């Protein structure tokens, strides 16, 4: 399908629907409350959908960061949704103009029933990106997608653990791992799972840890918006030492999988191994709630975080991030590990935590 076709469509207004004559697919942007329900109904049964395809994330991102969220959907001639594509436009003087599905999270990309729907959604997004003069589009998939004819990176993996019962999981651990879990409990550390009542504790640990890593921190309101928007399947797990929060993480459930996309601990308590109790508390919670898979999140193979997750029995699942580049050339790299950010990271580590909480959110909103 020629890009010029979609360029003409977008020139007529970004909220007009259009029919692709080759497939009879209708492509349009989500705009009405009724469409929101149909969107989520589709996501609830789509085979390759993730939690981040749900329309509530549009509200979270717009409310938390102020970015423009364009949620594309493809419908057949009967009006049935055949695919969805949530896309966020990030723009800043320092990092440029680009689009991501979905920033801040490990997953997103195009969710479609068939190849035709997937192709018209990608083509529509490219046409819109060209009109907006975005430098690139990044699509975050957790499976290889052969009908997206674009370059991709697959240097990261998602670490996932199949969950039996709690008892079977415990006996599957080797003696060393069980000893590491018991140690913080013997020292009086306690793990809790809650929701908004744990937000302050989580943010205290998270913001401190992010400063120590040299990374700008999200605002507390971002996590509050997530908890309020997805009140039934988002939790916070926290480990306390004498009522002091020393480790904490966010848990997000979708279908049979519980994910921990953010987890942190305070370095001065490392000798008490709060991270071990944090993850054991989360795993017990997952088993108790009937989840069948625990997603430890994204890692680089061979890294320290990879080895930490691997010791629990997690297996690596390759991630495929596809890119459309307006001018071709090298694929973008906004990773904190990039050498050009080295000095900024070292300076950030020396800033007061209270100051990083103030200036971090306006910076990190443009880092995907």
| Total H helices, total E strands in the chain | 12, 16
Q: List, in sequence order, the alpha helices (H) in 32-97.
A: 33-45, 56-65
Summarize pLDDT for 339-366 with one digit per residue, the tens.
Answer: 666 788 888 889 999 999 999 999 999 8
pLDDT number for residue 94 = 77
What confidence category does residue 313 fall into, taking pLDDT thresholds of 50, 70 and 90?
very high
Summarize pLDDT for 108-146 with one digit per residue, the tens.
Answer: 999 999 999 999 999 999 999 999 999 999 999 999 888
* Region 299-325 average pLDDT: 96
Domain at 3-154+320-332, CATH from 3.40.50.300, 3.40.630.30, 3.10.20.880, 3.40.30.10: 3.40.630.30
pTM (2 decimals)? 0.91
Asked whether the predicted pLDDT for residue 13 surpasses 70, the reply is no
Asked whether the predicted pLDDT for residue 9 surpasses 60, the reply is no
What are the residue ranges spanned by the domains of the chain?
3-154+320-332, 157-318
Helix%, strand%, coil% for the chain, nearest 5: 40, 25, 30
Q: Which two tokens stand for residue 325?
A: 């580049």
Quote the percentage of the chain above a pLDDT of 90.
79
Comparing 3-154+320-332 with 157-318, is the CATH topology the same? Answer: yes
Summarize pLDDT for 242-280 with one digit per residue, the tens.
Answer: 999 999 999 999 999 999 999 999 999 999 999 999 999
Superfamily classification of domain 157-318: Gcn5-related N-acetyltransferase (GNAT) (3.40.630.30)
Pairing of strands 157-162, 315-318: antiparallel
pLDDT number for residue 335 = 66
* Rg, C-alpha atoms of the chain: 21
Summarize pLDDT for 55-113 with one digit per residue, the tens.
Answer: 999 999 999 999 999 999 999 988 899 999 999 999 987 788 999 999 999 999 999 99
Pairing of strands 293-299, 257-265: parallel
């Amino acid at each position: 399908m020629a890009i010029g076709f979609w360029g003409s469509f977008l020139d007529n207004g970004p909220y007009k629907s259009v029919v692709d004559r080759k497939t009879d697919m209708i492509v349009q942007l989500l705009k009405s409350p009724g469409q929101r329900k149909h969107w989520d109904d589709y996501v609830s049964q789509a085979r390759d959908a993730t939690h981040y395809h749900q329309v509530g994330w549009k509200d979270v991102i717009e409310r938390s960061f102020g970015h423009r969220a364009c949620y594309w959907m493809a419908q057949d001639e009967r009006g049935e949704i055949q695919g969805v594509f949530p896309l966020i436009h990030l723009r800043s003087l320092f990092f440029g103009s680009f689009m991501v599905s979905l920033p801040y999270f490990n997953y997103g990309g195009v969710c479609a029933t068939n190849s035709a729907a997937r192709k018209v959604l990608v083509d529509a997004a490219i046409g819109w990106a060209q009109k907006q003069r975005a430098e690139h589009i990044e699509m975050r998939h957790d499976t290889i997608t052969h009908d997206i004819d674009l370059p991709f990176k697959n240097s990261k993996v998602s670490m996932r653990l199949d969950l039996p019962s709690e008892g079977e999981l415990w006996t599957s651990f080797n003696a060393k791992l069980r000893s590491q879990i018991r140690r913080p409990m013997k020292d009086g550390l306690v793990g809790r799972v809650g929701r908004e009542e744990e937000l302050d504790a989580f943010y205290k640990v998270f913001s401190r840890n992010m400063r120590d890593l040299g990374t700008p921190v999200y605002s507390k309101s971002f996590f509050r918006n997530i908890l309020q928007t997805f009140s039934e399947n988002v939790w916070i797990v926290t480990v306390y030492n004498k009522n002091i929060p020393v480790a904490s993480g966010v848990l997000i459930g979708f279908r049979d999988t519980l994910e921990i996309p953010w987890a942190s601990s305070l370095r001065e308590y490392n000798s008490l191994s709060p991270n071990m109790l944090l993850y054991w508390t989360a795993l017990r919670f997952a088993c108790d709630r009937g989840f069948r898979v625990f997603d430890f999140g994204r890692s680089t193979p061979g890294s320290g975080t990879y080895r930490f997750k691997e010791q629990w029995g997690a297996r690596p699942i390759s991630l495929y991030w596809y890119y459309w580049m307006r001018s071709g050339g090298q694929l973008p790299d906004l990773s904190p590990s990039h050498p050009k950010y080295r000095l900024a990271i070292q300076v950030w580590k020396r800033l007061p935590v209270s100051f990083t909480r103030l200036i971090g959110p306006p910076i990190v909103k443009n880092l995907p």
